């Protein structure tokens, strides 16, 4: 697993785009502080976590709870929140005792407790989400609902309108979607049930599906922001993409109607529903942007075309890293390497690199490497070809430079670099001692184990992951007899995640029978719990869900054997009791599950660990976990 401090660093990096004051978060000896663009420390690193400044305030956690400080480091709102997020338009989302609240800059509750989130449409209106995950539109000044919270989804507003969705499940067996269009006042532009589906608006248009009672499926169409139907087009033998770009939408066409084989090719449909471009020599087309689009030949080379479907330039490209143009530039690849082209198809950066990051060009800079491995280091160059910093960065802020600095990880240390390539600040680390883990979120499951070879055959792959943590034979008497036991041994100090103090945890089986356990990719259904201030046992860790059926399998622990693990020694404001909970298959009734608990130990946690699951994005298809 990744070091948890890296997650905290990335959390800070991800908030850079919201920064409105030229102060930057730094991490020094696991504490958060702030520097200016010259690298001078303005607010000493004394906080356990903190956001970037937004509207003159930053949310910081000096101990177990968050408050807000100004740019001088003075508390404007004292620490009192489990979690706190940046202010926008004078409002911020905070949590107190796990309860979400939207507050104003004075700490007053701006909206009723019923709302757990707000997404601004503009500075006067916002989309609110209730505790039941229903959405509506609110007037920020009057705090009155313009659209009641009856929608399961309100999409992004585009030219003053948005698609909305409701789910109906009358028999609680199937979910039916109904979609409509509303304006920013919550008025219906297109009512429910007029169309089978409505896709999100783009450039003032949205694609729809129409039920014409046709035998061969629905009819495609497009509407404008007033709900006018621009065209109807049966989609027999073609598939229209998601949205219009520069007046065209991509289409997948088939050389033989109804033939969904490899005999497909790409085309474009205009706002009249006409097939504006189709050529069986092009296997695929990409969206238009900046008046240009890439189309792919059957040999997988790419051409650049204009809105009249004429080739731009004389070159073909071996591959396209960024499928569209951003601010007039795109990343393209030839046999010589990867470079950057303009809208005339000319290389402004010659194809000389192994890889240019998928983020493309951000604020006139791009990020490159000549290493094709998963551990490649990246450098920074500008569009004149001047290398700002050579490939030394392990990670970096994908939003690019902000207020003259970019954050990166170099040699496992947080580093701030200016546009001249000068390192104005870098983290100092003490790697000689183990640390106590002080976090404000639920840790993800980390109990990996595997069965002995005789319990792992060709019919039980163990999910996609194989763990080296195999059972050990019991050769000593420290484990209880005739019992499935879960034991935390605080006398056995170990290292958790390569840098934190941990304790050994054992699962032992002396029952005389083999015991089965459900698992996901060799990760057991086991987690730590803690007592809250009411004395109730609550989970402080969780096992995320997987959408992939291959992730799920069973593990076996034979009798007179044990597994061993390492758990973190949590440190936090709330001094409490901690235990482990294990779910296994009931031997008496294999269709049921039973829970086994460990001995209780002393520990310290923070309030956010009872409920806060930090956002997680799967890396690729081999990472099917989503919560």
Q: What is the CA radius of gyration of the chain?
A: 28
On whether residue 228 sits in a domain, the answer given is no
* Residue 266: alpha-carbon gap to chain centroid: 31
With a cut of 60, say whether residue 259 has pLDDT above it: no
What is the per-residue pLDDT for 622? 64
On whether residue 250 sits in a domain, the answer given is no
With a cut of 60, say whether residue 174 has pLDDT above it: no
What is the per-residue pLDDT for 63? 96
What is the per-residue pLDDT for 458? 44
Check residues 621 and 226 and name the one with the higher pLDDT: 226
Q: Give the whole-angstrom CA distance, residue 253 versus residue 266.
A: 6
With a cut of 70, say whether residue 13 has pLDDT above it: no
> How many Cα atoms within 13 Å fall on the side-chain side of residue 26?
28
Region 364-388: mean pLDDT is 94
Q: Residue 459's domain spans which residues?
A: 443-610
The separation between the first and the last C-alpha atoms of the chain, rounded to the nearest angstrom, is 16
Region 311-317: mean pLDDT is 93
Percent of the chain at pLDDT > 90 equals: 70
Region 114-130: mean pLDDT is 92
pLDDT in tens, 318-358: 999 888 998 899 999 999 999 999 999 999 999 999 999 87
With a cut of 70, say whether residue 169 has pLDDT above it: no
On whether residue 125 sits in a domain, the answer given is no
> How many Cα atoms within 13 Å fall on the side-chain side of residue 548?
18
Lowest mean pLDDT among 20-24, 164-168, 475-479, 550-554: 20-24
On whether residue 136 sits in a domain, the answer given is no
What is the per-residue pLDDT for 620? 63
With a cut of 80, say whether residue 373 has pLDDT above it: yes
pLDDT in tens, 504-533: 999 999 999 999 999 999 999 999 999 999
What is the per-residue pLDDT for 175? 61
Q: What is the side-by-side order of every strand in the sheet holding 238-240? A: 238-240, 249-254, 264-269, 275-278
Lowest mean pLDDT among 44-48, 236-240, 455-459: 455-459
With a cut of 90, say whether residue 616 has pLDDT above it: no
Contacts (Cβ under 8 Å, ≥6 apart) of 253: 237, 238, 264, 265, 266, 267, 275, 278
On whether residue 483 sits in a domain, the answer given is yes
β-pair type (135-139, 145-151): antiparallel
Q: How many domains does the chain have?
A: 1
pLDDT in tens, 425-467: 999 887 778 889 999 999 999 999 999 876 555 445 445 578 8
For the CA atoms of 456, 457, 462, 467, what is the dihedral angle to 10 degrees?
Answer: 50
As a whole number, the mean pLDDT across the chain is: 89
Closest of 70, 73, 72, 99 to residue 87, by C-alpha: 70
């Amino acid at each position: 697993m990744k070091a948890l401090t890296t997650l905290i660093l990335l959390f800070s990096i991800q908030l850079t785009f919201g920064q409105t004051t030229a102060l930057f978060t730094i991490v020094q000896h696991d504490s958060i502080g702030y520097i200016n663009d010259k690298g001078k420390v303005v607010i000493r690193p004394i906080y356990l976590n903190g956001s970037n400044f937004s509207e003159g305030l930053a949310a910081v956690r000096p101990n177990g709870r968050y408050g807000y400080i100004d740019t001088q480091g003075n508390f404007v709102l004292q620490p009192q929140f489990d979690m706190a997020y940046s202010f926008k338009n004078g409002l911020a989302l905070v949590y107190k005792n796990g309860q979400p609240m939207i507050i104003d800059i004075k700490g007053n509750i701006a909206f009723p407790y019923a709302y757990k989130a707000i997404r601004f449409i503009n500075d006067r209106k916002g989309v609110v989400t209730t505790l039941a995950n229903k959405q509506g539109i609110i007037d920020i000044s009057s705090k009155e609902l313009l659209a009641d919270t009856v929608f399961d989804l309100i999409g992004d507003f585009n030219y003053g309108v948005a698609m909305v969705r409701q789910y109906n499940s009358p028999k609680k067996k199937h979910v039916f979607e109904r979609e409509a269009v509303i304006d920013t006042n919550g008025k219906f532009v297109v009512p429910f049930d007029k169309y089978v589906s409505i896709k999100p608006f783009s450039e003032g248009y949205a694609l729809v599906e129409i039920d014409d009672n046709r035998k061969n499926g629905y009819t495609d169409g497009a509407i404008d922001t007033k709900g006018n139907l621009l065209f109807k087009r049966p989609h027999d033998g073609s598939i229209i993409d998601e949205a219009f770009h520069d007046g065209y939408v991509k289409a997948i066409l088939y050389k033989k109607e109804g033939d969904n084989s490899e005999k497909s090719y790409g085309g474009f449909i205009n706002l009249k529903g006409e097939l504006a471009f189709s050529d069986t020599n092009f296997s695929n087309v990409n969206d238009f942007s900046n008046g240009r689009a890439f189309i792919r030949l059957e040999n997988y080379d790419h051409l650049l075309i204009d809105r009249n479907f004429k080739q731009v330039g004389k070159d073909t490209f071996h591959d396209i890293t960024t499928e569209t143009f951003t601010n007039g530039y795109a990343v393209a690849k030839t046999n010589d390497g990867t470079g950057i082209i303009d809208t005339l198809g000319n290389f402004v950066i010659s194809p000389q690199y192994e890889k240019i990051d998928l983020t493309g060009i951000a604020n006139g800079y791009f990020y490159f490497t000549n290493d094709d491995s998963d551990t490649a280091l990246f450098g920074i160059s500008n569009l004149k070809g001047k290398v700002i910093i050579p490939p030394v960065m392990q990670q970096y802020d994908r939003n690019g430079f902000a207020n003259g600095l970019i954050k990166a990880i170099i040699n496992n240390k947080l580093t701030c670099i200016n546009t001249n390539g000068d390192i104005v600040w870098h983290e100092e680390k003490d790697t000689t001692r183990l640390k106590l883990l002080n976090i404000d979120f639920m840790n993800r499951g980390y109990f990996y184990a595997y069965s002995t070879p005789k319990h792992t055959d060709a019919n039980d792959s163990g999910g996609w992951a194989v763990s080296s943590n195999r059972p050990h034979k019991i050769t000593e008497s420290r484990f209880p007899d005739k019992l499935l036991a879960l034991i935390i041994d605080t006398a056995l100090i170990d290292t958790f995640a390569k840098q934190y103090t941990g304790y050994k945890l054992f699962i032992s089986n002396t029952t005389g029978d083999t015991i089965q356990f459900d698992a996901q990719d060799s990760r057991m259904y086991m987690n730590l719990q803690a007592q809250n201030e009411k004395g109730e046992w609550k989970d402080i860790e969780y096992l995320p869900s997987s959408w992939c059926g291959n992730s799920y399998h069973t593990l076996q622990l034979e009798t007179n054997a044990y597994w061993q693990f390492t758990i973190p020694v949590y440190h936090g404001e709330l001094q409490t009791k901690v235990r482990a909970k294990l779910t296994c298959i009931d031997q008496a009734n294999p269709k049921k599950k039973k829970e086994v608990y460990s001995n209780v130990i002393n520990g310290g946690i923070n309030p956010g660990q009872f409920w806060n699951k930090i956002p997680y994005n799967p890396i690729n298809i081999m990472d099917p976990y989503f919560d």
